[in-house]
Structure 1
Amino acid sequence: MISVDAYRAIVTDLIGHASITAVPLAEAAGLVLARDVPAGVALPPFDNSAMDGYAVRAADVAGAPVTLPVADDIPAGRVDVAPLEPGTAHRIMTGAPLPPGADAVVMVEKTDGGTTDVRIDHRATAGDHVRRTGEDVRKGTVALHAGTVLGHSQLGLAAAVGLAEVVVYRPLSVLVVSTGTELVTAPDPLRYGQIYESNSVMLAAALRGLGCRVQVVRSVVDDVEEFRKIVEPKLAESDLLVTSGGVSAGAYEVVKDALTAHGVEFRKIAMQPGGPQGCGRWNGVPVVTLPGNPVSVLVSFEAFLRPALLAAMGHTALERRQVRARLTEDMPSPEGRRQYRRGFYTQADGEVTGIVGPRGGPGSHLLAAFTQANCLIVLPEEVTSAAEGAEVDVLLL
C-alpha cells in the first residue's frame, strides 16, 4: 500500500495543468484568471457627481442660503460639458461629469430644486459629493491579479475597465464512466440482484461544481471488449477519464482487466474507504479509476480528484477547511490506514473547539449517512481507536 498523500501527488501530477484561453466575460464565471488584468481606463474615468443636485463653486455658496442662476443641465452621459462660470450653478445628475470650474455638488434635497434659479440652503465644502478620477482604480494598475476566481464582482470590474474577454484556465472536459453489470438506470425496474446506478450522478455533480465540463456514460457491463468499444472513442474529446467500479480483486473487474498493460497502474492505498485505486494514461489521456461503492467514490473524490482538478484549473485554495473537534463517541479505526468517516460538526458560540459525531457506520455502501454529514472525520494511519472526548481532525464539507 502507498499513502494517501503520495497517491494524491501522483494524481495531481498526472492531471497536470489546463491550457489557457480567452473567453467572453459572459462565459467566464467561476473560472480562474491566467493573466493579470490591467486597467485600461481609470475608475472613475472622470470627475463626476455622486448625487443628483447642483454643481457649484464652494466659495459661491459660503454665505448660504443663496440663490444662483442655473446656467446648464448636465445629465449622465453628456460629453460636451461647458465650464461653470463664477456665481452660477449647473443642475447635475448622478454619474454626470463635473463641469470645469466646479469643485462641489450640493444635493438637491438641500435646495429648492429650481431649474432657472436655485436657492441653495446649505454651504458646501470643496470635494462634497464628487467622485474623483481614479479614486477606485488608477489607469495602468492591475485591476485583477492572475489566480483570481471570477465571480460576479470580479467580472463587473473587468467590464468596467474596458474588457470584453479575459484569459483564463480552460475548464477541463471529464468523461465519467460507471461500470457494473448489476447497474440499472432509473426509472427502469429492478430485478433481483440489480441496483440503481448512482455513482455517475454524484461524480458528475461534484465535477460540475468545480467548473468541469462533464460527459457521462452510465452502467457499462462487465465485459472488457464492450468497455473498450464504448469508452475508447470518447477519449479524444476528453481531458480526463474517471471511472467507478471494476478495480478491486474480484473475478469481474472490467476496468482493471481492460486497462492493465494499457498505461494504467492499479494500487492499494492506505485508506478506508477507497483502498483500491488506479491511474495512468490510456491513449495519452489521463485516467483515474475509483472503487465502486458510493461512499468510496465520494471520499476518493475529496482526497484525490478535487484538489488535483482545482490545481489544474488554476485555483490556489485546494483544501477543505480543517478544524479540530471533540468526538461525541468512541471510534475504532484500522491500523495502518487513514480512515475517513462521515460526521456532523457543530460549534457553540464562544467555544474554540467544536464537537463532532459520526453519521452511519464505516461501511462504504452507506450512502444515506453521507447526506446527513457536513464533514469528514479523519483518523490517521497510526490510530486504532479514538475515545469519546478525544480531539480529531475534521474536514468541513
Structure 2
Amino acid sequence: MSSTAPQDTGRQQQRLWSVDEHLADILAAIRPLEAIELQLLDAQGCVLVEDVTVPVALPPFDNSSMDGYAVRVADVQGASEEFPAVLTVVGDVAAGSDGLPDGGTVGPGQAARIMTGAPLPAGAEAVVPVEWTDGGSGGGAAAGMTPASSAPEGAGGEVRVHRAAEARAHVRARGSDVQAGDLALAAGTVLGPPQIALLAAIGRGTVRVRPRPRVVVLSTGSELVQPGEALAAGAIYDSNSFALAAAARDAGAIAYRVGAVADDAATLRATIEDQLIRADLLVTTGGVSVGAYDVVKEALSGASAAGKPEDTAEAAEIDFRKLAMQPGKPQGFGSIGPDRTPLLALPGNPVSSYVSFELFVRPAIRALMGLPDVSRPSVRAVLEADKAIGSPAGRRQFLRATYDAGSGTVSPVGGSGSHLIAALAHADSLLVVPEEVTSVEPGTELEVIPLR
C-alpha cells in the first residue's frame, strides 16, 4: 500500500516528512471503493458513480396547486364580491384520477371542483382557490371541498367566484420541475435527503453508488478506561476513539469504535486481525512515538513480525514517520492483511490525534468514496490576538481557533498543548502557521481551515 518498504523503516524515521508529502503518499495509495447497486434509503450518504437522467417529466401532467375550482379565464374575468361569476359545477377531479369522469371537459360557464395535485381537466385554463368562492352549492361539498377519497362526482349545483384569475393561475405545469431527458443528478453527487427525494420522484428505486467506507477506530493504552466506568489512580478516560469515530461519521464513513487495547503487541495484532473483516480503513491512535510502550510500532513494524507468514504483522507494510508539523509529529501509514487494507496510525495526544484525522484520515475517507475534493477548503483570515504567536522553526503549526467569516478574523483558542481537549471543543477551525514562520503578529493574514 505505501510507497516505502517496511525494511526501510529506520531510514524513514530519520527523515522529516512534510505534511503535503505525507498526505500525497496516502492519497497515492488509496483507491475508491467498488460501486454497488443500493436501494434508495441504503444509498444515503453514498456517492453516485453515474449520471442519472430524468425518464419522465416532473410533474408528469398539468395539475392544481390548490383545492378549488378549475375554470376558463373568460368566465371569471371581472369577477368581484359584488358581482361574482356564477358557474355550473360539472364534476369533481380528485388527486390520482385522470380528469373528469367519462373524459368530460370544462365548457363555457362551467367549473370543475378540483383537489390539490389533481390533473387540470380538459377545457380548464386556471384554478381559483376555494377561498375565492362561496364554496359551491349542490353536488355534495359542504364548505366547498371534500377529501379525494370520498369526493362525489359532484355534477350539478353552482359556485360563485369572487375574483378573476389569469391563465395558468395555480397550475403546476407539466415538466416545470424537470423535463424528460434532463440531468437529474451528476456522477460524484453525495446523496442526501433532497437527492433521495428527487430520485424517488423520478421513479428510481435503486441507484449505483460507491458505498460509505467502513472505518474501524482503535485506541491503545493500558491507562485508558471507558466512559461510565470508575476511574482508578493513574487512569484516564478514552476520548480519542470516540472523537475519531465521530469524525469518521462526519466525513461520510460508517464508523466502528473498538474499546481501548492494552499495551501488548500480541493483543493488538489479534484485535486488528479480528477487525479486518469489516474494515475498508483502519485507524489507530497512540503508541507511535519512541517510548518503551509504543505498542503500535512494536506490533506493526516489519521488525516485530512473529515470523509466520499468516501473522497480521507479517502481512503489514507500515511506515512510521516524523512529520514537520505541530501537533502530530509521529505518524504511521501503510497497509495490512491479505486485502492490503490501508491503516493510518495517529499519535495518542487528543489534539494531535484530531488534527491528524482532519489532515490525513478525512481525505483518505473521501478518496475511498471517490470524491474529487478530499480536504476541507481553507480561507484567509486576519489574526486577532493580544500578542504575537510563536511557532517552532521548520514546523507547520495547527492551532485551535474561532473564525468569524463576517469580519474575516480568526482568534486562537486555548494554548498550544496537545492535551487541551476543552479548547478543541470550543474551536471551530484550525489556524495554520507556515513552516518558515516563527512569530506571527496580530493583524497578519493566515490560512484557516474551518471545521464546521
Tell me the CA shift for residue 189 of structure 1: 3.1
Contact 1:175 1:214 (C-alpha < 8 Å) held by counterparts: yes
Q: Is the 8 A contact 2:93 2:99 kept in 1?
A: no
Listed as ranges, the gaps of 5+ residues in structure 1 are none
Indicate the SS of the match to 1:311.
Answer: helix
1:332 alignment partner in structure 2: 390
1:255 pairs with one of 268, 280, 296: 296
CA–CA separation in structure 2 for the residues paired with 1:294 and 1:393: 23
Cα distance in 2 between the residues matched to 1:358 and 1:119: 68
CA–CA distance in structure 1, aligned partners of residues 112 and 321 of structure 2 = 77
Partner Cα separation in structure 2 for residue 120 and residue 264 of structure 1 = 79
Structure-2 separation of matches of 1:370 and 1:178: 19
Amino acid at match of 2:69: Y
Aligned to 2:371: 315
User: Which ranges of structure 2 fall in alignment gaps of 5 or more residues?
Assistant: 1-15, 138-156, 303-315
- SS state at 1:177 partner: strand
CA distance in 2, matches of 1:62, 1:361: 73
- 2:55 alignment partner in structure 1: 40
Which residue does 2:198 correspond to in 1? 157
- Identify the range of structure 1 (229-238 vs 275-284) with the bigger mean alpha-carbon deviation: 229-238
Name the CA distance, whole Å, in 2 between partners of 1:153 and 1:217. Answer: 33
1:27-65 superposed Cα distances (whole Å, 9 cap, x missing partner): 233332222222122111101112222112223333644
| Pairing of 1:198-217 with structure 2 (within 5 A) | 198-217=239-258
Over 3 Å counting, the alpha-carbon distance change for 1:46 and 1:183 in structure 2 is same
Match of 2:68 in 1: 53
SS in 2 for 1:76: coil
CA contact (8 A) 2:214 2:253 kept: yes
Q: Deviations over 1:184-239 (max 9, x none)?
A: 22333333332222111111111112231222222212222121122212212211
For the residue of structure 2 that corresponds to 1:229, the secondary structure is helix
Deviation of 1:272 (Å): 0.5
User: Aligned residue pairs: how many?
Assistant: 393
Residues 244-283 of structure 1 deviation map (CA, whole Å, 9 limit, x = unaligned): 1111112222111211123111111110010111111111
Question: Any idea what the Cα deviations from partners look like across 1:128-178, whole Å, max 9, x if unmatched?
Answer: 221111011101211122222222222111111112222222011111111
TM-superposed CA distance for 1:357, in Å, is: 2.7
TM-aligned CA distance change 1:185 to 1:112, over 3 Å: closer
Identity of matched residues, % = 50
TM-score when normalising by structure 1? 0.93
Alignment of 1:261-276 (within 5 A): 261=302, 262-276=316-330
Residue 72 of structure 1 aligns with an amino acid whose one-letter code is G
Retained in 2: the 8 A contact 1:325–1:394?
Answer: no
Question: Which residue of structure 1 aligns with residue 9 of structure 2?
Answer: none
Aligned residue number for residue 311 of structure 2:
none
In the aligned structure 2, how far is the partner of 1:252 from the partner of 1:326? Answer: 39
Aligned to 1:66: 85
Q: SS at the partner of 2:168?
A: coil
**Number of the residue aligned with 1:346:** 404
Q: Contact 2:213–2:280 (CA<8 Å) still a contact in 1?
A: yes
Distance 2:287 2:44 in 1: 36
Q: Does 1:11 align with 2:30?
A: no
Counterpart for residue 130 of structure 2: 108
> 1:63/1:247 Cα in 2 relative to 1: closer, same or farther (>3 Å)?
closer
Task: Give the aligned residue type for 1:241.
Answer: L
Question: Where does residue 371 of structure 1 map in the other structure?
Answer: 425
Q: In the alignment, is the contact (CA less than 8 A) between 1:184 and 1:219 conserved in 2?
A: yes
2:36 maps to which of 10, 14, 21: 21
Letter in 1 for 2:359: A
CA contact (8 A) 2:63 2:120 kept: yes
Kept after mapping to 1: 8 A contact 2:252/2:365: no
Structure 1 92/245 Cα, relative in aligned 2: closer, same or farther at 3 Å? same
Distance 2:355 2:173 in 1: 52
Aligned twin of 1:130: 171
Q: Provide TM-score, normalisation by structure 2.
A: 0.82
Distance of aligned partners of 1:60 and 1:184 in 2 relative to their CA distance in 1, 3 Å threshold: closer
1:149-228 map, 5 Å:
149-228=190-269
Q: Which amino acid aligns with 2:91?
A: D
How far does the alpha carbon of each residue in 1:99-139 deviate from its partner, in whole angstroms, 9 at most, with x for none? 11211222222222214112223333322221111011101
1:88 aligns with 2:129: no
Structure 1 residue 316: Cα displacement: 4.2
Distance (whole Å) between structure 2 residues aligned to residue 58 and residue 114 of structure 1? 18
Partner letter of residue 327 of structure 1?
E
- CA shift at 1:321, angstroms? 4.0
Distance in 2 between residues matched to 1:117 and 1:244, nearest whole Å: 77
Which amino acid letter does the alignment assign opposite residue 98 of structure 2? V
- After TM superposition, the structure 1 stretch with the greater mean CA deviation from structure 2, 60-69 or 147-156, is 60-69
Structure 2 CA distance for aligned equivalents of residues 122 and 358 of structure 1: 62
Deviations 1:56-94 (A, max 9, x none): 222333364432211111121112533223332111111
Partner of 1:144: 185
Q: 1:51 to 1:80 in 2, by over 3 A?
A: closer
Aligned partner of 1:298 among 354, 368, 371: 354
* Partner AA of 1:254 in structure 2: V
Residue 137 of structure 1 aligns with an amino acid whose one-letter code is V
The answer to whether structure 1 residue 2 and structure 2 residue 17 are counterparts is yes
